[in-house]
Structure 1
Amino acid sequence: MGDFLDTVNGYVWSDALVYLCLAAGIYFSVRSRCLQLRQVPEMIRLMMKGQSSSAGVSSFQALAVSLSGRIGTGNIAGVATAIAFGGPGAMFWMWAMAFLGASTSFVECTLGQIYKTRDPLTGEYRGGPAYYLSRAMAHTKAAPAFRVYGFVFAAVTVLSCGVLLPSVQSNSMASAMQQAWGVSEWVVAIGTAAVLAVIIIGGVKRIAAFASVVVPFMAVCYMLVALIIVVVNASEIPSVISTIFASAFGADAAFGAIVGAAVMWGVKRGIYSNEAGQGNGPHAAAAAEVSHPVKQGFVQAFAVYFDTLFVCSATGFLILSTGAYRVFEGETAEGAVIADGGVLPSDIVVGPSFVQHGFDTLWSGAGSTFVALSLAFFCLTTILAYYYIAETNLRFLLSKYGTAVVPFLRWSAGSVATVVLQALILASVVVGCVSTAAEAWALGDIGVGLMAWLNIVGILVLQQPAYKALRDYEKQQRDGVDPVFDPRALGIAGATFWETYEPSGDKVKVPTRA
């Protein structure tokens, strides 16, 4: 099974996908005139602005749901894996992917807002790649092909977020708890499944409410504690930075042979962590109540920075400054050791243990507990985000048939399918807790890679409406008005939600178009 997964993973995560991600980020940065630099003040301003409505969540809640999907095991175990198999230089390529990925995230999340719709069952906003892939070209002869493409993406996403990716999160969580407290993986599995079941039954509103409290609190706590350890080891920082840049480009003799691995693991783990281009962000973005799609596009672009430049960097500097790392040749823990920070025991398993031992250099014995708690909250919120994304794509696949009543059950087809999905994701969590880390990560990488291939190719074709919306937003900004979106005035077809949209009147106030 392991060999089969590695073979499939090799095809999905070929060099072509790595270069496609980098090239797309460069292209979108040029097209947007580096909005990821120009619009940072606006991103921060919008992040804390806006209110929810009966159909949509606030910008901050949508950001929290998005961050809950981004901030997870990838920020802890993923960074450790990137350093172990790609060397310290992988950190540079994670940063590069974050900078370029911010523009990619803007495009996909703005498209998610432009082509969102209302769920016929709940009335909540729904959107994402499947929606814009099927709607953006609906007025052209290519409509049937893009409709099929949208359904393929939705099916892959239900499989990835509903089955493959949750197991990675639960596996890291169970591993960290087992090392910290000796807790059985089965205990973690059952406890996690029970907590998740209570939250996901409440739908996107409960998920958003939970994420908006837990994610910012845990992320700030984690970064503060990591920062304390980095400050204690401040004398090592110049050397760490020098090593990161030298090994990223092969200038360091010790890591010269694995420059390609540094790029591969930096980009792969960068995308896994910040999700730019993967297609997860647009789902949360579409749920927000805003007067203009670009507003949420900006907020989601900043989420990439928060995830990688802040949280992942905190982990990377902690590992490298404390010497809690080991770099292997051949991109496998079976390979020869190229570099050793001198802190890890000989039988260490690549993953959260690196971070746990890094914490222990300052607070002996406390590292395992702190990392286990951090992973418990990070992974829990990430799994919730995966569920929301899988449910959104399930709704898309069901389309108008979701409201049809199933004979004998007196439930709608959408309700029945939702219960099945909930059971699947809970089963995935349990299986992940008791699986090996290698199998769990291989499945997760396959899921991320398939989504990234489909989404990036799609947004490269459909990008134009996002830039029309960006120009419109910036023009209204210069005119000194709060931007309001009208797709008809911009010649954007298929944005049917916005063509008939009027303020909900319950909590959010949006200026009415003339």
Structure 2
Amino acid sequence: MEEVINWLTADFSHFLWSYVLIIMLIGLGLYFTVRTKFVQFRMIGEMLRLLGEGAVKKKGVSSFQAFCISTASRVGTGNLAGVAIAISFGGPGAVFWMWLIALIGSSSAFVESTLAQIYKVKDKKSGTFRGGPAYYMEKALNARWMGVLFAMIISVTFGLAFNSVQANTVTNAFHHAFGFDMYWTGLGITAVTAFIIFGGIKRIAKAAEWMVPPMAGMYILLAAYVMIKNFGELPQVFSLIFQSAFGLNEAVGGGFGAAMMLGIKRGLFSNEAGMGSAPNAAATADVSHPVKQGLIQSLGVFVDTLVICSCTAFIILLSGVYKSAESNGIVLTQSALNTEIGPWAAVFIAILILLFAFSSIVGNYYYGESNIEFIKPGRVWLTIYRLAVIGMVAFGSLASLETVWSLADVFMGIMAVINLVAIALLGKIAFAALNDYQKQKKAGKNPVFSVSNIDGLKNAECWEAEEQPALKKEA
């Protein structure tokens, strides 16, 4: 077993990330950017406006709540610990590649989330929506086998592997800050996780809505203070990032190759653009047009990487502690803040990482739940999955840092490849939906989606069901 894990986390992982995913992520990101006419840049104003829209029906999940569920998953240990790991091993240049993959990848996020909205389904019991890559693979590509494969991998990746990473980061942060026994910290996280995930999507949405805005706001304010304090050194930091990105000044790490691979790997772990995870949250939103949620999820990539990941990067680079090999992961971020604002930083980060990581555990769990329902609907399978999630949270609390991150990288890479193939084949549907949205906006309307507006669109069952009552009224 150990040999298999070593092969997966070394040779196979290196091949997957060094060749396959770099080409697919950048290539498809550029293709989607061009085909959507740079939607992620030209429609930022519309993205911000849409955040304030409520759900179409009072019982539904609003755009903002769906945004919070996906951001809860995105904004987690990848933003604090992941950035630190990337800088430790890839050098300051890794930050540049994180930025680049976010700028390009946000168009992929738009496409996958728009598709998730088009092919979402309605849960008969709760009345809420669910969907994601597994659903559009089955309904649009007529490839249930592909959807089942994806659903299995995302359930393992997010519900199990990623949640181990989140729990591991929390227990390490609290041990470093307070000297708490990792066993008892892990037990506490596990208990609260069980309470929330057994409460269903509404409880998950409420928890995410409550946690995400304040935790992100606090961290951004802290980073702003550090940058203002060191304002004169910012040009030097930018120069260091760009020089190191192309191997001109490696500073720390393995030069150009290490900076690129680690920047893209940790960037994808953090912002999830193109990975196929955020569409599961996007599908829950009750909106009048699929493009609305596509735009909001595209904005989520910017918030995650260009804002929050950058905060961590500047804190670490301004402190200079990354030059030491003594600390790694969340401990490096804590050490950097300790240098900048004093000993209380470790305590502050420990509390913040608890919110960051726990919100991610909640968001990650929901991705798995949605896909378990796709594979085999039923209370028994869902209960087994919930117990497995709780078990992996407990396991991750005590496992080694290297093991949990390495396994997460492998599963994340496989998942991304499957989803990228699917959205490459289905991108034209998202482009058509975007054109329909823009036509209605130009006509001064609040865009409302109709299946008939896209030639040949089939199996968009939720939208078809909504059109039928409207047609009866007109008749």
Shorter chain as denominator, the TM-score bin is: over 0.9
Corresponding residue for 1:357? 335
Task: State the match for 2:106 in structure 1.
Answer: 102
Residue 24 of structure 1 aligns with an amino acid whose one-letter code is: L
Partner of 1:501: 466
Once the 2 structures are TM-superposed, how far is the Cα of residue 393 of structure 1 from its aligned partner? Answer: 0.2
Residue 3 of structure 1 is matched in structure 2 by 6
Choose the corresponding residue for 1:440, options 380, 393, 404.
404
Tell me if the contact between 1:116 and 1:286 (Cα under 8 Å) persists in the aligned partners.
yes
Matches within 5 A, 1:135-284: 135-137=139-141, 143=142, 146-252=143-249, 254=251, 258-284=255-281
| C-alpha distance in structure 2 between counterparts of 1:303 and 1:133, whole Å | 23
Q: Which residue of 1 aligns with 2:133?
A: 129
Could you tell me which residue of structure 1 aligns to residue 77 of structure 2?
73
**1:388 aligned partner:** 366
- The structure-2 alpha-carbon separation of the partners of 1:255 and 1:324, relative to structure 1 and needing over 3 Å to count, comes to closer
Moved more, 447-456 or 44-53: 44-53
In structure 1, the partner of 2:345 is 367
Q: CA deviation at 1:155?
A: 1.2
Aligned to 2:45: 41
Structure 2 distance, partners of 1:62, 1:52, is 13
| Cα deviation digits, residues 183-219 of structure 1 (max 9, x gap) | 1111111100111111111111111111111111000
The unaligned stretches of length 5 or more in structure 1 are 138-142, 326-339, 403-413, 506-511
Rounded to whole Å, the distance in 2 between the matches of 1:256 and 1:320 is 14
Equivalent residue letter for 2:391: A
Q: Which amino acid aligns with 2:116?
A: G
- 1:215 and 1:23 map into 2 onto residues whose CA distance is 31
CA distance in 1 between partners of 2:105 and 2:404 (Å): 25
Secondary structure of residue in 1 paired with 2:350: helix
Candidates 483, 504, 509, aligned match of 2:447: 483
TM-score, reference length from structure 1: 0.88
The answer on whether the counterparts of 1:102 and 1:301 sit within 8 Å (CA) in structure 2 is yes
**Structure-1 separation of matches of 2:250 and 2:383:** 55
Specify the code of the residue in structure 2 equivalent to 1:56: G
Asked if the contact 2:76–2:357 (Cα under 8 Å) also holds between the matched residues in 1, the reply is: yes
**CA RMSD after TM alignment:** 1.9
Matches within 5 A, 1:414-493: 414-491=378-455, 492-493=457-458
Partners in 1 of 2:16 and 2:157 — Cα distance? 13
8 Å contact from structure 1 (residues 233, 322) kept in 2:
no
Once residues 389 and 232 of structure 2 are traced to their aligned partners in structure 1, the CA distance between those partners, rounded to angstroms, is 45
Deviation at 1:120, TM superposition (A): 3.4
Q: What are the Cα deviations for residues 57-99 of structure 1, in whole angstroms up to 9, with x where unaligned?
A: 0000000001001000000010001111111111111111111
Look up the match of 1:87: 91
C-alpha change, 1:218 and 1:226, in structure 2 (3 Å) is same
Residue 478 and residue 435 in structure 1: after superposition, are their counterparts in 2 closer, same or farther (change >3 A)? same
Instruction: Give the superposition deviation at 1:10.
Output: 2.6
1:293 paired with 2:290, answer yes
Return the structure number with greater helix share: 2
Instruction: Give the structure-2-normalised TM-score.
Output: 0.95
SS of the residue aligned with 2:445?
A: coil
User: Kindly tell me: are residues 289 and 17 of structure 1, through their superposed partners in 2, closer, same or farther at Cα, counting changes over 3 Å?
Assistant: same
Equivalences for residues 407-418 of structure 1 within 5 A: 414-418=378-382
Is the CA contact (8 Å cut-off) linking 1:55 and 1:125 kept in structure 2? no
After superposition, the Cα gap between the structure-2 partners of 1:166 and 1:240, relative to the gap in structure 1 and judged at 3 Å, is same
Answer yes or no: is the 8 Å Cα contact 2:9–2:410 preserved in 1: no
Q: What displacement does 1:323 show?
A: 0.8
Map of 2:311 onto structure 1? 314
Cα 1:504–1:47, aligned 2, differ >3 Å: closer, same or farther? farther
> Post-superposition shift, 1:362?
3.1
Unmatched 5+ stretches in structure 2: none
Contact 2:9-2:407 within 8 A present in 1 as well = no
Do 1:43 and 1:299's aligned partners in 2 also have CA atoms closer than 8 Å?
A: yes
Q: Is the 8 A contact 2:98 2:264 kept in 1?
A: yes
Equivalents in 1 of 2:474, 2:398: separation in Å?
55
Superposed displacement of residue 13, structure 1: 2.5
Distance (whole Å) between structure 2 residues aligned to residue 67 and residue 32 of structure 1: 23
1:4-23 matches, cutoff 5 A: 4-7=7-10, 8-23=12-27
**Is the contact made by 1:15 and 1:264 (CA closer than 8 Å) also made in structure 2?**
no
Question: SS state of the match for residue 341, structure 2?
Answer: coil
Does the aligned pair in 1 maintain the 2:88–2:253 contact within 8 Å?
no
CA contact (8 A) 1:250 1:256 kept: no
Q: Which runs of 4+ in 1 moved over 4 A?
A: 253-257, 502-505
Per the alignment, in what secondary structure is the counterpart of residue 361 of structure 1? helix
- Residue 405 (structure 1) aligns with: none
Q: 1:434 and 1:54 mapped to 2: Cα distance?
A: 42
2:117 paired with 1:113: yes
| TM-aligned CA deviation for residue 54 of structure 1 | 5.7
CA distance in 2, matches of 1:134, 1:451: 16
Q: Give the deviation of 1:462 after TM superposition.
A: 1.1
Paired with 2:368 and 2:300, the residues of 1 have a C-alpha distance of 20
Aligned counterpart in structure 1 of residue 60 of structure 2, from 56, 63, 80: 56
Q: Which moved more, 1:40-49 or 1:13-22?
A: 13-22
Secondary structure of 1:13's aligned partner: helix
2:91–2:254 contact (8 Å) kept in structure 1: no
1:159-196 alpha-carbon deviations (Å, 9 max, x no partner)? 21222111011111111110001111111111001111
- Judged with a 3 Å threshold, the aligned counterparts in structure 2 of structure 1 residues 441 and 472 are, in CA distance, closer, same or farther, namely same
